[in-house]
Amino acid sequence: MSPPGPCGVKDAYCLLNFGDSITTDHISPSGSIHIDSPAATYLMEHEFDRKDLYSYGSRRGSDEVMGGTFANIRLVNKLLEGEVGPKTIHIPSGEKLSVFKAAMLYKEEGHDTIILAGTEYGSGSARDWAAKGPKELGVEAVIAKSFERIHRSNLTGMGIIPLCCKPGEDADTLGLTGHERYTIDLPSNINDVSKTWSRQHKL
């Protein structure tokens, strides 16, 4: 059986807009599960006591708990204009939501999502869930200035398109705020997907 051919992204929304040095711990935290997080809500709905929430690292076998993707409390998302924490803006409604809730809403609405990032996206210790988690959230592509090599490979393995900006370019120089819609067309004979990307800009 032949693998499916490459497919692009159509009219996607930006789930998160990051700066430089987003690590695998920002993406898939291993620290304590915060009481206000979607993961904590899930566990307590399933009769876990608050004192038994433990950490994300101890619960990596549960894909429901790993809804904690992008739940790092130190996350800085440019869509929130400097506010720190695991939140984002659901672009169509303008509502501020947890990253998990926004991602699920986009999926319910049938929308693809992408992530914007700066340099060294995915740096730090290698974690499979740093690629699996975003895929579970419906992320189809990451457009960054540069990637950590192993993480880029993991993204590709999960079917997330890792795209590098041209030298000297990034989201800021291209005037991307994260409020646009994004279309990525892939050729049938891809050798290096980082060299091929296009943007459909809709305000």
Residue 41 falls within a domain, yes or no? no
In a domain, 94, yes or no: yes
Q: Is residue 80 part of a domain?
A: yes
Find out whether 179 and 51 touch, Cβ atoms under 8 Å. Answer: no
> Does the residue 140 lie in any domain?
yes
Of 71 and 121, more confident: 121
Report the CATH number at residue 14: 3.20.19.10
Residue 28 pLDDT greater than 50, yes or no = yes
Instruction: For 53-63, write each residue's pLDDT tens digit.
Output: 444 554 454 54
Using the predicted structure, report yes or no on whether residue 115 has a pLDDT greater than 50.
yes
Residue 45 lies in a domain: no
60 assigned to some structural domain: no
- When mean pLDDT is compared across 7-11, 79-83, 189-193, the lowest value belongs to 189-193
Q: Kindly write down the DSSP assignment for every residue of 78-100, as one continuous string.
A: GGGTT-BSSEEEETTTTEEEEHH
pTM of the complete model? 0.78
Domain that holds residue 103: 9-28+75-195
Place 85 in a pLDDT band, splitting at 50, 70 and 90.
confident
% of the chain at pLDDT higher than 90: 51
Residue 132 located in a structural domain: yes
Number of folded domains that form the chain: 1
- Asked, for residue 86, whether it belongs to a domain, the answer is yes
